[in-house]
């Protein structure tokens, strides 16, 4: 588990986005998903686990992740859990306290908060970024802005 973390600042969000943009230029296709998961997990202290799921039929399928261990939730039906809800609704979901959200599918006992950001390609949800934090209320509107910008960059890498 990471030490008590400092919330994301606008300056740090710009740095992380810039680093990801540079990395995406060197990571063709789906290899970009692993790069992004690794960068987000290592560069943002409050992110304890980062996964990128892709839509396959009526399910979300885990394609890339970075964190201390794998999750058992490698396939999630669209509409189930916070991840499935975000994919179905096509909007970002922030859960400040997973213990108070009946949709939450537990991946790790240490998780306290979650943010899920859909990835679009031509206005169709093709995947999503799923991030867990070991801190309550870990995600702010700045995290949402950063992750939605990252998701826009990932859209073309999630098809084909």
pLDDT in tens, 38-69: 999 999 999 999 999 999 999 999 999 999 98
CATH homologous superfamily for the domain 10-158: GAF domain (3.30.450.40)
Mean model confidence pLDDT for the chain: 92
Domain boundaries, the chain: 10-158
| Phi, psi dihedrals of residue 81, rounded to the nearest 5° | 70, 180
Kindly report the pTM of this predicted structure.
0.93
pLDDT classification of 114: cutoffs 50, 70, 90: very high
């Amino acid at each position: 588990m990471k030490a008590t973390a400092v919330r994301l600042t606008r300056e740090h969000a710009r740095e992380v986005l810039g680093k990801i943009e540079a990395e995406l230029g060197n990571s063709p296709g789906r290899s970009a998903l692993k790069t992004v998961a690794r960068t987000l997990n290592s560069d943002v202290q409050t992110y304890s686990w980062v996964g990128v799921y892709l839509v396959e039929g009526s399910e979300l399928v885990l394609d890339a992740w970075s964190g201390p261990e794998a999750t058992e939730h490698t396939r999630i039906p669209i509409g189930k859990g916070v991840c499935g809800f975000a994919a179905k609704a096509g909007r970002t979901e922030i859960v400040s306290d997973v213990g108070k959200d009946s949709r939450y599918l537990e991946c790790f006992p240490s998780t306290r908060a979650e943010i899920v950001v859909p990835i679009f390609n031509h206005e169709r949800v093709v995947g999503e970024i799923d991030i867990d934090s070991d801190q309550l209320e870990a995600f702010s509107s700045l995290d949402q802005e950063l992750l939605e910008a990252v998701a826009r960059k990932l859209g073309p890498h999630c098809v084909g």
